[in-house]
Structure 1
Amino acid sequence: MKDIGNLLKLNKKIIWTQHDEWAFTGGCHYTSGCVGYLNNCRECIQLNPKIWPLAELTYLEKAIHYSNHLELVSPSKWLAQKAKNSPLFKNTKIHVISNSLENEWFNSYNKWEIRKKYGISSDCFVVGFGADSISEKRKGITYLIEAFDLLMENEDWKLAFESKKIILSFFGNYSGSNRSIEKYANHLGSFSNDKEIAEIYQMMDIFVIPSMEDNLPNTMLESMASKTPVLGFPIGGIVETIRHNENGFLADSISSSSLAEQLYRIWKDLAFCSQVGESAYQYAREKFSMDNQALAYNDIFVSVSRYNQVNSNLEKLTKEKLNLQWKVVSDKLKAAYLNHIKSLSWKSGFLNLLFYSRFISDFIQSYIKKK
């Protein structure tokens, strides 16, 4: 945040691409429905304010360093709108530019050879899931497991699952200690090689993204580019990208029952599922090419260059205005901190000052440097 402020003091225009909500909150990358960021993140529900009002002070520090010389890029309309609603970016220009995929993602591999490598039969219905961290609640694997619980009440599905004609496979970082997941799913591992990940997508029939919040998940783009259709909840960048029954599938609501209903319907019509996968592939090629992304960014950079030429004579005025803004918000920051100290016992207040005071911190740093 301080580096951004220093660049703005030099009258530099900054183009900042957002990938989550961190830029306009007191620390959350995703807010889980909390709207505290609309009011300076006061009294954060995740932190103990008696220890340290970290969220509010972090938020105010952002307010000190940001200015209208920032321009944002968001990969989804959903994230762009949330940023626009925030007090920090309400007067900021925001562009929507989708993420892109390297051309190699659109390579085709032999589906049956890949399945053979993983010990999966050619006539098996493979349901897939993947995330950087499987245990992250926001990614919603709990909904997928609950959907399987419901589907196991159907005799046809249960028989197919028990005879290994239906399997659930997932990849990503996983501790290997969740019994509710392991009763249905097998962990393929965690991969960093793009070719290996692309092969995994292509051996699947359907890739499920039961996220409760998401910007424009790369797993969705990668799966579509691999001709494997995606099933997700109608949220964020997912509902902006997937056209139900055309280039993917959407559950009716954020619920395990809705997910189960769609999974059963897809399983019963694999030919249609494959057709949707082809459409997903074509859509990904057209929408998520690197050329599209590069041209969109080029348009922004050119316009910013012209802006800087026209406004170079206003540099001094801009600096004075920014310095005034920083002083106003800095005073608010100090006041918030002092109010916090007053609310504590003398012992807690002393310890708080000792460990968090910038004066003490600067003194210690200068002492270390001298040593």
Structure 2
Amino acid sequence: DTQFVYAGEHRVVYEDFYGQWKHLVDRYREHITFLGLIRNPQKMADFYAMCDVFALPSRTDCFPSVQIEAMLCGTPVVATNIPGAREVVRVTGMGKLVTPRDERALAQGLIEVLRDPTPYIKTKEEIRSIFNTERTLDQYEALLQSLVDEK
């Protein structure tokens, strides 16, 4: 039995996805829950942790922080193969990339991760080492220094 839980605003004015898919939402209402926008950080962490998989079907997003938040809570991600999301999945190995705007690819990716989540799960220590702020800052500093040295 599958349950889809949606956190965030689902009636965004500039994207009428809800309006486009309302007929399916109505049809499968017993399998879909809309939580709305979650502002409390602990409740958001609880949401991510309770998910078996986190879907990020973005069409554009320069750096989707929700993807990292889900990963930090130990939840594997199925994300569209767009620049920001792509890098996070490649670096962490905590997810699967699917073709943007392809509902079948998204569904297949979700099914694959749900059937065998093991390759996409990391320990908290592994996750923290990947998203280590000091290491990231050191890498940025080294990159900037190399650019200065090239001049």
TM-score (norm 2): 0.71
Residue from 108, 112, 118 that aligns with 1:265? 112
Residue from 46, 51, 54 that aligns with 1:199? 46
Q: Which residue in the other structure is 1:171 paired with?
A: 7
Evaluate the alpha carbon distance shift between residue 292 and residue 206 of structure 1 in structure 2; reply closer, same or farther with a 3 A threshold: same
Structure 1 alignment gaps of length 5 or more:
1-164, 307-371
d(CA) in 2 for partners of 1:166, 1:220: 21
Alignment partner of 1:277 is 2:127: no
**Structure 2 counterparts to residues 152-191 of structure 1, below 5 A:** 165-175=1-11, 178=19, 179=22, 180-181=24-25, 183=28, 184-191=31-38
Specify the structure having the higher radius of gyration (Cα): 1
Deviation at residue 289 of structure 1 after TM alignment? 2.3
Q: Which amino acid aligns with 1:235?
A: I
Structure 2 alignment gaps of length 5 or more:
13-17
1:242 match: secondary structure: helix
d(CA) in 2 for partners of 1:282, 1:257: 34
Q: Which residue in the other structure is 1:225 paired with?
A: 72
Answer whether contact 2:53 2:114 (CA < 8 A) is retained.
no
Answer whether contact 1:221 1:284 (CA < 8 A) is retained.
no
Deviation at residue 197 of structure 1 after TM alignment? 0.3
TM-score (norm 1): 0.32
Evaluate the alpha carbon distance shift between residue 282 and residue 212 of structure 1 in structure 2; reply closer, same or farther with a 3 A threshold: farther
Q: Which amino acid aligns with 1:277?
A: I
When the two chains are superposed, the root-mean-square deviation of aligned CA atoms in Å is 3.1
Evaluate the alpha carbon distance shift between residue 172 and residue 295 of structure 1 in structure 2; reply closer, same or farther with a 3 A threshold: same
CA offsets per residue over residues 157-200 of structure 1, 9 Å max, x none?
xxxxxxxx210001112349742345352112311111110000
Answer whether contact 1:214 1:238 (CA < 8 A) is retained.
yes
Deviation at residue 260 of structure 1 after TM alignment? 1.6
**Structure 2 counterparts to residues 197-346 of structure 1, below 5 A:** 197-243=44-90, 246-251=93-98, 253-254=99-100, 255-269=102-116, 273-278=117-122, 281-295=124-138, 299=141
